[in-house]
Structure 1
Amino acid sequence: PQYGQYVTKARRTEAKAALARVQGAQERYFTVNNKYSSNPADLKVLACAAQTTGSGDTCDQGSHVITIAVTGGGDATGYTLTATPKLADALC
């Protein structure tokens, strides 16, 4: 039981760090484009093929899937990030 709790805590910490990376990328994108993006390719932070992003952040194959939902219609004046545990990670 203690090991499971440790793994769950570590994965949640990893998810929070990933959300913070995406949030930073969204703010950088907004600074240039005056709107937020729901396309991870625009943010250059979620594509893990090269293991690095345009901003120099590392992108690890995490235990969660990050989804982006923009709000505000065509202006995209806000966004919501969601970290969902992958199905194989039942401990989260």
Structure 2
Amino acid sequence: MKRAAHIGGFTLLEMLIAMVILAILASIALPSYLSYVLRSNRSEAQALLSEAASRQERYFTQNNSYASTAAALNMTSYVANLKSYSLSISNVGAATYTLTATAIGSQVKDKDCKTLTLDQAGAKGYSGTAASASTCWP
């Protein structure tokens, strides 16, 4: 009597062990990945604030005052296309302004750097749980 050829395969126990290992790896890797995405999205805020500051200075040379809205800086469409931050302009005076990039959408999960700020003197600030501004402004 001949035996049938053995066809290789996985047992249910082997499949369960493999699934447990994958679940453990995913539970470690996914939070790290999400944290990386939040940190990398901060570059959008930094670019936004740098662009707005540049336009503020250009506006000042033409009007001898700073703009109080993104529309005055011709940034309406630029700001509308952002996915992670919104722009606000405050503390506008004869020689002062403060630009603020506020997290929106999925970026609000970034507890370290909820907002980034930049003023006319180039002072960089933030609000959130980060230990220092260098966390938000590398």
TM-score by length of 1: 0.74
The change in CA–CA distance for 1:70 and 1:11 in structure 2 (over 3 A counts) is same
**RMSD (CA atoms):** 2.0
CA distance in 2, matches of 1:84, 1:20: 14
> 2:81 maps to which residue?
60
Whether the 8 Å contact between 1:66 and 1:83 is mirrored in structure 2 is yes
**Structure 1 unaligned regions, length at least 5:** 52-57
More helix by share: 2
TM-fit CA distance, 1:4: 1.2
Please state whether the residue corresponding to 1:68 is helix, strand or coil: strand
Identity %: 39
TM-score by length of 2: 0.52
The structure whose RCO (Cα within 8 Å, separation 6+) is larger is: 1
The change in CA–CA distance for 1:90 and 1:59 in structure 2 (over 3 A counts) is closer
**Residue pairs, 1:14-25, within 5 angstroms:** 14-25=44-55
> 2:37 maps to which residue?
7
Q: Which has the larger radius of gyration?
A: 2
C-alpha distance after superposition, 1:9-65 (max 9, x if no partner): 1111110011000000100000100100112111012x12xx6xxxxxx97323011
**Structure 2 unaligned regions, length at least 5:** 1-30, 111-138
**Residue pairs, 1:1-92, within 5 angstroms:** 1-45=31-75, 47-48=76-77, 60-72=81-93, 76-92=94-110
The change in CA–CA distance for 1:21 and 1:59 in structure 2 (over 3 A counts) is farther
**Displaced runs of 4 or more, over 4 A:** none
Letter in 2 for 1:79: Y
**How many residues of Structure 1 are paired with residues of Structure 2 in the alignment?**
80
CA distance in 2, matches of 1:15, 1:27: 18
